[in-house]
Amino acid sequence: MNAVRGRRARNARRARNARRLTLGLVAAAVLAGCAAATVPDSSGAAREPAATGTAKPDPKDAPRGRTPEGTLLVADFGADTVTFVDPGRNGSGTGGQPLASVRVGTAPYGLVVGEDGRAWVATAEGVAVVDTARRTRLALIPYETESGPATTGEYRGGGMGIALAPDGRHVYVGVNVPGGDGTVEVIDTATREVTGTAPVGRRPFDVDVSPDGDEVYATDHDSFDVTAVDAGTLKTRRMEVAPYGTEGGLGSWLKPHYAAVRPEDGRLLLPFEGERLAVLDPRTGKVEIERMTANTHQHGAALTPDGTLLAVGTGPIGTDDEDASLTVRSPDGEERVVPLQGPHEDVTVSSDGRWAYVTGGFTRDGYWNGITVVDLEGDADPVRFQAGSRPLGIAVL
C-alpha cells in the first residue's frame, strides 16, 4: 500500500511539474507580446473558447422607476458595460434574465456596491461610479497609476479587484501594471478623487478590507503574495502565500487569486486548486493550510452570512484534475462540492444566504455569458441562464 501511495505521489508531482513547464512557456510568450487566441492546456494542445451566446436586455423588461431590491449587478468584462439582472422567481434563477445595461468603461472587472446604492466598477480606464437605483453612470475616475492604454483581455492594465471601506468613505482599487508591480489606489467617495496610492505586487486580482477598516489587502496573483496596506498611512508589507511554492514563476497556475476575510478574526481565506485552503493571519504573516476536496483550479471566493465559504472551481488544469464546481465549505470544514457546467469566475450570495450566484465570465478562454444559481440549503440542481457579456464581478443590490 505504501508503494502504491508513493507512486501516486510521484505521478502527481510529475504532472504538476509538467504543467509548470508548459505554463512557463505560455507566460514567456505573453510577456514577449505573443498572446494567442487560444491557450495550450497541460498537454500542449490548443484549447478553444467555448461557444457563447449573449442575452441582450430587452428595454420593455427593464424595471420602471428605481431598480428593485435583490437585482444582480454584473461587470461585463467582454463589453464596456455593467448589466442589471433579474435573478428570477424568489432569487432561484428560474426565469432569470438581463434587464438593462449601463456603459461604464473598457473591460470592467470587479465591482462593489455601497449602502447608498452607488456601485464602484474597476475598468481599464478608471473607476466608474454608477447610480444603481436609476441605472446611470455618474462619473469615471481616472487612475493616477500609469497602466498603459485601455485594452481588453486577461492581461490588460487598469483596475482589477475593488473594495469599499466599512464606513463607506473610501474605495480601494487594485491597478494592474502589465509587466510590473501594481498599486492600490484610494478614492474618496465624497469627492470622487484619488487621494493616495500604495505599491503592491503583480496583478492584484482581489482587494479586501479588514473588518475594522484599518487595513486593505491586495491579493497579488503573479507575485504569490498578499500586500497589506495601512489605510491611514498607506505603508505596506508583503506576505507570501504559496502553499505549493513559487516554482514556475509567472507561468505557474498555483498562485493566489481571490480571498475572503473572516469577520470574527480578520484572517484571509485563500482557496488553492480545490486541495488546500491557505488561512493567512495578516497580523503575523503566518499561513496555515487546511485540506480541501474539489481538486480543481479555483478562483472566486465569498463568505455567506453564517460563515460558509464559497469557492469557485474553474475546471481542470491537468489530467488529474476534476471539472468545474462550487465548493460549499461550512465553518467546521465540512465540504459539499456542487458540479458546474464549464468555467466560472466569481461568486456572491443572496441576502438571506439561500442562493449563490456564480458568474460564467472566467478570465481565460472557455467562458460563457451567463450566471449559475446554486441552492445552498437544498439539493436542487443548479440553474443556468444567460446574462451579461463575459461577466466577472457580481453583487446583489
Please give the model's pTM, rounded to 2 decimal places. 0.87
Q: What is the CATH number of domain 58-396?
A: 2.130.10.10
- β-pair type (72-76, 391-396): antiparallel
Per-residue pLDDT tens over the stretch 287-327: 999 999 999 999 999 999 999 999 999 999 988 999 999 99
The answer to whether the CB of 116 falls within 8 A of the CB of 134 is: no
DSSP symbol at 222? G
- Give the whole-angstrom CA distance, residue 227 versus residue 216: 8
The answer to whether the CB of 290 falls within 8 A of the CB of 333 is: yes
Per-residue pLDDT tens over the stretch 265-292: 999 999 999 999 999 999 999 999 999 9
The answer to whether the CB of 386 falls within 8 A of the CB of 370 is: yes
* Grid cell locating 202: 503583480
Q: Give first-to-last CA distance, the chain, whole Å.
A: 54
pLDDT at 39: 33
Furthest CA-CA distance within the chain: 68
Minimal CA–CA distance to 346: which of 140, 72, 128? 72
Question: Whose grid coordinates read 507575485?
Answer: 223
Low-confidence ranges of the chain (pLDDT < 50): 1-51
Helix (H) or strand (E) holding 60: none
- Give the whole-angstrom CA distance, residue 384 versus residue 343: 13
Per-residue pLDDT tens over the stretch 102-130: 999 999 999 999 999 999 999 999 999 99
Read off the amino acid at residue 283.
R
pLDDT at 16: 44
Read off the amino acid at residue 308.
T
- Give the whole-angstrom CA distance, residue 259 versus residue 185: 19
CA distances from residue 228 to 91, 234, 264 in whole angstroms, order as listed: 36, 9, 18
pLDDT at 364: 82
Indicate the burial class of 344 (C-beta count within 10 angstroms; 0-12, 13-18, 19 or more): buried
